[in-house]
């Protein structure tokens, strides 16, 4: 059949092909579009890894590139812990259910960790670290980010930090440093990988050591990408410094560090954040975005194409052999990076400064929470307050629950003592048995415990 066609074309000319005029006009156009699309879709990852039994924490996995990463990891059998703003959100519940069904993987869970709030990040990390024995963790993939459109006023996180800085840099810093013990405790033969999504706009970012988070500088509402770029640049510097600190950590088993943190630039994708950015967050902008969609379709990557870089950073076998802190782009390691990403002294300074800022912000927000709670409590009627106080006391002294503080521990011990008719210890000291209480009382009245013991001995001898 193809030979027939070729021989007809050779003997009778191309005009003998039905619809040749159309083909002549449209095929080159279609091929050009195909070539452009292929080129702008970027490189594909060719590495594979069996993920059965592996556990990953993912941020930003509800949409865009993160959702693609979650889908692919779940398809390969990994257990996923998706960090979401709220687990109460019915959309999140449906999303997790849907992902489980599509990937035939039931080991997908959502945990609350709102990156807008350092307290929420701490609550999640504390819960994670609270597991005994420590939970398996093969990697953390941070895809969540905020990029604000041009012309909008400054927006802030719960802690009052500019939102892009707060979510893209500070929350990731906080999450990963808090998860440090969990990362470090993994067995030495485990290939633990942390992937941080970055962006080429880091080239527009700047590092002002005296005002890292743009707290005192005027918000550039006509160029919000400056802050977005700065947040990604700071994230890159954090990756470098944190990797160094993890490398320097001496494990009990003296094994070398098995954690690698890498930065991934996925390229520009047609995701929710790009749509919001290009449409400038307006209805008219959205309409224009839709009209121009063929252009975006041609020149911008799909979330799946962008995610290829994340897969490369997670699967390629080269990474455990490298030092970490690499900049992955188009499924390759890009050696050309900004000067700040090679300046170890500056990275250390920025790391230390960020730690200080986080301590300050957490203290401030704890005070705010306390004030808020007191104001709320003041509004409540007396009966409700008493009921809550009783409930709180019951909860704290419930011996079936694990104590959270030493005060709670002594409360529970006292309750236990009462239950077995020993009597509570007023000053909250821990001794559980009457003998030690007697000793303590003896000490309090000036007599030595040994003299108490001697007198008991002499009494028993007399008897
Ligand atoms: N899109 C691009 O062209 C592009 C280019 C270069 C780099 N990147 C980077 O690639 C990554 C993924 O980008 P994308 O475009 O796929 O993102 P996206 O579609 O905009 O999704 C952002 C994700 O982050 C989550 N998120 C935002 N704020 C959060 C918060 N406070 N707490 C918890 N989760 C929060 C969102 O959750 P909700 O669903 O709850 O909002 C969503 O899942 C980002 O780090 C981005 O900077 C993107």
Mean pLDDT of 36-51: 93
**CA 146 / ligand 1 centre spacing (Å):** 6
Q: What percent of the chain has pLDDT over 90?
A: 70
Structural domain boundaries of the chain?
Answer: 55-358
Reported confidence tier of residue 463, pLDDT bands at 50, 70, 90: very low
Strand order in the sheet with 79-84: 108-112, 79-84, 55-59, 139-142, 192-197, 259-265, 327-329, 332-333
Nearest atom of ligand 1 to the alpha carbon of 196: 45
Average pLDDT of the chain to the nearest whole number: 89
Nearest atom of ligand 1 to the alpha carbon of 116: 31
**CA 340 / ligand 1 centre spacing (Å):** 24
Rounded distance, CA 46 to CA 316, Å? 8
Rounded distance, CA 64 to CA 146, Å? 12
Rounded distance, CA 215 to CA 441, Å? 56
**CA 263 / ligand 1 centre spacing (Å):** 15
Question: For the ranges 185-189, 385-389, 444-448, which has the lowest average pLDDT?
Answer: 444-448
Mean pLDDT of 301-308: 96
Pocket test for ligand 1, best of 57, 58, 61, 65 (most atoms within 8 A of CB): 65
- Residue 240 exposed, middle or buried by CB count within 10 Å (0-12, 13-18, 19+): buried
- Residue 89 exposed, middle or buried by CB count within 10 Å (0-12, 13-18, 19+): middle
Active-site residue list? 232
**CA 60 / ligand 1 centre spacing (Å):** 5
Q: Whose CA is nearest to atom 12 of ligand 1?
A: 143
Reported confidence tier of residue 202, pLDDT bands at 50, 70, 90: very high
Reported confidence tier of residue 456, pLDDT bands at 50, 70, 90: very low
Q: What percent of the chain has pLDDT over 70?
A: 91
Q: Whose CA is nearest to atom 47 of ligand 1?
A: 145
pLDDT of residue 125: 97
CATH fold for the domain made of 55-358: Rossmann fold (3.40.50)
Query: With 70 as the cut, is the pLDDT of residue 9 above it?
Result: yes
Q: Whose CA is nearest to atom 14 of ligand 1?
A: 64
Nearest atom of ligand 1 to the alpha carbon of 142: 45
Residue 248 in tokens: 């320097």
Nearest atom of ligand 1 to the alpha carbon of 144: 24
Residue 434 in tokens: 């009457």
Rounded distance, CA 64 to CA 306, Å? 9
Q: Whose CA is nearest to atom 4 of ligand 1?
A: 268
Pocket test for ligand 1, best of 60, 69, 202 (most atoms within 8 A of CB): 60
pLDDT of residue 4: 81
Nearest atom of ligand 1 to the alpha carbon of 157: 31
Residue 444 in tokens: 């309090």
82-123 residue pLDDT tens: 999 999 999 999 999 999 999 999 999 999 999 999 999 999
**CA 211 / ligand 1 centre spacing (Å):** 25
401-450 residue pLDDT tens: 778 788 888 888 888 887 777 765 555 555 555 555 445 554 444 444 44
Q: Whose CA is nearest to atom 20 of ligand 1?
A: 273
129-148 residue pLDDT tens: 998 788 999 999 999 999 99
Pocket test for ligand 1, best of 99, 115, 143 (most atoms within 8 A of CB): 143
State the SS3 of the chain: CHHHHHHHHHHHCHHHCCCHHHHHHHHHHHHHHHHHHHHHCCCCCCCCCCCCCCEEEEECCCCHHHHHHHHHHHHCCCEEEEEECCCCCHHHHHHHHHHHHHHCCCCEEEEECCCCCHHHHHHHHHHHHCCCCCCCCCEEEECCCCCCCCCCCCCECCCCCEHHHHHHHHHHHHHHHHCHHHHHCCCCCCCEEEEEECCHHHHHCCCCCCCCCCCCCCCCCCCCHHHHHHHHHHHHHHHHHHHHHHHHCCCCCCCCCCEEEEEEECCCECCHHHHHHHCCCCHHHHHHHHHCHHHHHHHCECHHHHHHHHHHHHHCCCHHHCCCCCEEECCEECCCCCHHHHCHHHHHHHHHHHHHHHHHHHHHHHHHHHHHHHHHHHHCCHHHHHHHHHHHHHHHHCCCCCCCCHHHHHHHHHHHHHHCCCCCCCCCCCCCCHHHHHHHHHHHCCCCHHHHHHHHHHHHHHC
Residue 225 in tokens: 């990408």
pLDDT of residue 406: 82
pLDDT of residue 425: 58
* Residue 262, strand partner residues: 195
Q: Whose CA is nearest to atom 11 of ligand 1?
A: 143
**CA 145 / ligand 1 centre spacing (Å):** 4
**CA 325 / ligand 1 centre spacing (Å):** 21
**CA 349 / ligand 1 centre spacing (Å):** 28
Q: Give exposure, 126-153, as e/b (b: 16+ Cβ within 10 Å).
A: eebbeeeeebbbbbbbbbbbbbbbeeee
321-380 residue pLDDT tens: 999 999 999 999 999 889 999 999 999 999 999 999 999 999 999 999 999 988 888 888
Q: Identify the residues whose C-beta falls under 6 Å from ligand 1.
A: 59-60, 62-66, 85, 114-116, 143-146, 167, 197, 199, 266, 268-269, 271-274, 303
Query: With 50 as the cut, is the pLDDT of residue 454 above it?
Result: no
The residue among 96, 260, 130, 288 whose CA lies nearest residue 183 is 260
- More confident position, 23 or 345: 345
Nearest atom of ligand 1 to the alpha carbon of 147: 47
pLDDT of residue 419: 78
């Amino acid at each position: 059949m193809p030979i027939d066609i070729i021989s007809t074309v050779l003997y009778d000319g191309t005009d003998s092909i039905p619809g040749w005029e159309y083909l002549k006009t449209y095929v080159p156009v279609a091929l050009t579009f195909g070539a452009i699309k292929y080129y702008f879709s970027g490189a594909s990852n060719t590495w594979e890894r069996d993920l059965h039994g592996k556990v990953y924490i993912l941020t930003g996995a509800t949409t865009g590139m993160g959702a693609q990463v979650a889908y692919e990891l779940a398809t390969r059998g990994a257990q996923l812990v998706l960090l979401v703003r709220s687990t109460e959100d019915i959309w999140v519940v449906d999303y997790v259910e849907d992902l489980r069904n599509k990937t035939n993987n039931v080991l997908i869970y959502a945990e609350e960790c709102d990156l807008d709030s350092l307290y929420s990040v701490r609550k999640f990390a504390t819960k994670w670290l609270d597991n005994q024995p420590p939970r398996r963790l093969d990697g953390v993939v941070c895809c969540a980010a905020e990029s604000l459109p041009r012309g909008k006023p400054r927006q802030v996180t719960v802690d009052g930090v500019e939102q892009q800085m707060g979510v893209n840099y500070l929350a990731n810093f906080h999450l990963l440093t808090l998860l440090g013990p969990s990362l470090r405790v993994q067995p030495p033969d485990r290939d633990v990988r942390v992937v941080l999504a970055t962006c080429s706009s880091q080239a527009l970012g700047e590092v002002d050591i005296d005002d890292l988070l743009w707290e005192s500088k005027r918000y550039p509402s006509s160029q919000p990408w400056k802050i977005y770029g700065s947040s990604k640049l700071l994230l890159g510097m954090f990756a470098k410094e944190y990797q160094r600190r993890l490398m320097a950590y001496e494990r009990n088993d003296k094994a070398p560090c098995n954690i690698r943190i890498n930065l991934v630039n996925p390229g520009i994708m047609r995701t929710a954040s790009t749509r919001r950015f290009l449409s400038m967050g307006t209805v008219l902008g959205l309409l224009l975005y839709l009209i121009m969609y063929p252009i975006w379709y041609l020149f911008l990557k799909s979330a799946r194409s962008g995610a290829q870089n994340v897969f490369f950073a997670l699967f390629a076998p080269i990474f455990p052999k490298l030092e970490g802190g690499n900049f992955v782009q188009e499924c390759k390691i890009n050696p050309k990076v900004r000067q700040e990403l090679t300046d170890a002294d500056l990275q250390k300074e920025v790391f230390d400064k960020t730690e200080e800022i986080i301590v300050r912000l957490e203290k401030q927000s704890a005070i705010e929470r306390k004030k808020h709670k007191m104001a709320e409590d003041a509004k409540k009627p007396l009966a409700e307050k008493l009921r809550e106080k009783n409930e709180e006391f019951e909860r704290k002294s419930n011996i079936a629950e694990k104590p959270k503080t030493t005060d709670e521990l002594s409360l529970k011990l006292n309750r236990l003592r009462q239950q077995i008719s020993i009597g509570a210890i007023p000053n909250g000291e821990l001794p559980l048995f009457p003998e030690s209480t007697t000793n303590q009382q003896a000490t309090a009245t000036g007599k030595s415990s040994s003299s108490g013991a001697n007198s008991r001995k002499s009494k028993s001898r007399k008897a």
